[in-house]
């Protein structure tokens, strides 16, 4: 990462929202559900599935949690009525996890129970480390009643993740494996990119060896290659795993994966609470932030001939 990229990565969290929106639009479907549904229709036509997410997290009162639960329920209803190949991602703090565990569990179980009735699926997303233990507790409880309709996320940059896989291996496993983007202390998280990649591969191997259905969430071509190598080694048919990518990131890699016969799902977020999500995405990808900030500042890239 260049010095300019480091500067952009640090300053993006303080850039005013209207400026961020100029170059964050590619990561977000829009502000209303129909935006996400329309995008899903387009992806489905390209043989790509989606997971739809109502943006918003770390809510501060129960009414907000109930609002997001109702919005999430509507997502499931619209997916069903439209016949779309899509599921739903939710954040535990959006459902009240930091207010009251049992309150959040009831909210999330209502969504998972409904997903079961329509043959759909809920991904319980993973947030920062203060939420990890409670999120895994939620998953453990819900998978007992709804084993085919709920999954969660593990983050390869956390030092604990390989151990979490072993702890969860006493039941069915449906895991989205990603690198992780929250800023965590070194005692809890690997910091070197190559070490994170190595742990991603190690954790993916462990999950597949234990019969997990894995959403392989990466845009890193090295990890895509490693995943395909492991898929071949374990002799997995395409319905036993999927690749997952973020909206607006590496469309060419997306097409390569699909053209090679693998299942692919794109994360499609929408909602008015888009700014924190957009800032995290841009901080994670300083190259895009760099080009966007240069646009805002009126600087021109030198054309390469």
Q: Catalytic residue positions?
A: 125, 176
**Cα(9)–Cα(209) distance, rounded to whole angstroms?**
37
Report the candidate in 293, 284, 276, 266 with the shortest Cα–Cα distance to residue 49: 266
Report the candidate in 203, 200, 122 with the shortest Cα–Cα distance to residue 169: 203
Helix H, strand E, coil C: the string for 240-288 is: HEEEEEECCCCHHHHHHHHHCCCCEEEEEEECCCCHHHHHHHHHHCHHH
Q: Give the burial class of 56: count Cβ atoms within 10 A of its Cβ; 0-12 exposed, 13-18 middle, 19 or more buried.
A: buried
Report the candidate in 96, 90, 91 with the shortest Cα–Cα distance to residue 60: 96
Q: What are phi and psi of 106, to 5 degrees?
A: -65, -45
């Amino acid at each position: 990462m260049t010095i300019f990229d480091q500067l952009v990565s640090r300053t993006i969290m303080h850039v005013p929202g209207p400026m961020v929106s100029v170059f964050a639009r590619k990561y977000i479907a829009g502000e209303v559900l129909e935006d996400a549904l329309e995008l899903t229709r387009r992806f489905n036509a390209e043989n790509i599935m989606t997971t739809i997410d109502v943006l918003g997290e770390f809510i501060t009162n129960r009414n907000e949690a109930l609002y997001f639960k109702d919005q999430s329920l509507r997502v499931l209803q619209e997916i069903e009525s439209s016949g779309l190949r899509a599921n739903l991602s939710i954040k535990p703090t959006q459902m009240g996890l930091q207010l009251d565990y049992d309150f959040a569990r009831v909210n999330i179980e209502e969504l998972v129970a409904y997903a079961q009735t329509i043959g759909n699926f809920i991904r319980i997303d993973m947030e920062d480390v203060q939420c990890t233990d409670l999120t895994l507790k939620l998953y453990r409880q819900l998978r007992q009643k709804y084993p085919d309709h709920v999954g969660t996320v593990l983050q390869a940059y956390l030092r604990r993740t390989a151990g979490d896989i072993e702890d969860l291996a006493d039941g069915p496993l449906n895991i989205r494996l990603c690198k992780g983007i929250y800023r965590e202390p070194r005692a809890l998280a690997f910091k070197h990119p190559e070490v994170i990649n190595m742990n991603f591969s190690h954790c993916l191997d462990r999950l597949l060896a234990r019969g997990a259905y894995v959403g392989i969430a990466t845009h890193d071509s090295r990890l895509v290659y490693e995943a395909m190598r492991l898929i071949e080694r374990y002799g997995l048919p395409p319905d036993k795993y999927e690749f997952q990518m973020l909206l607006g990131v590496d469309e060419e890699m997306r097409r390569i994966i699909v053209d090679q016969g693998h299942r692919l799902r794109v994360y499609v977020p929408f909602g008015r609470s888009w700014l924190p999500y957009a800032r995290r995405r841009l901080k994670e990808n300083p190259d895009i932030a760099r080009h966007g900030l240069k646009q805002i500042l009126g600087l021109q890239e030198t054309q390469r001939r």
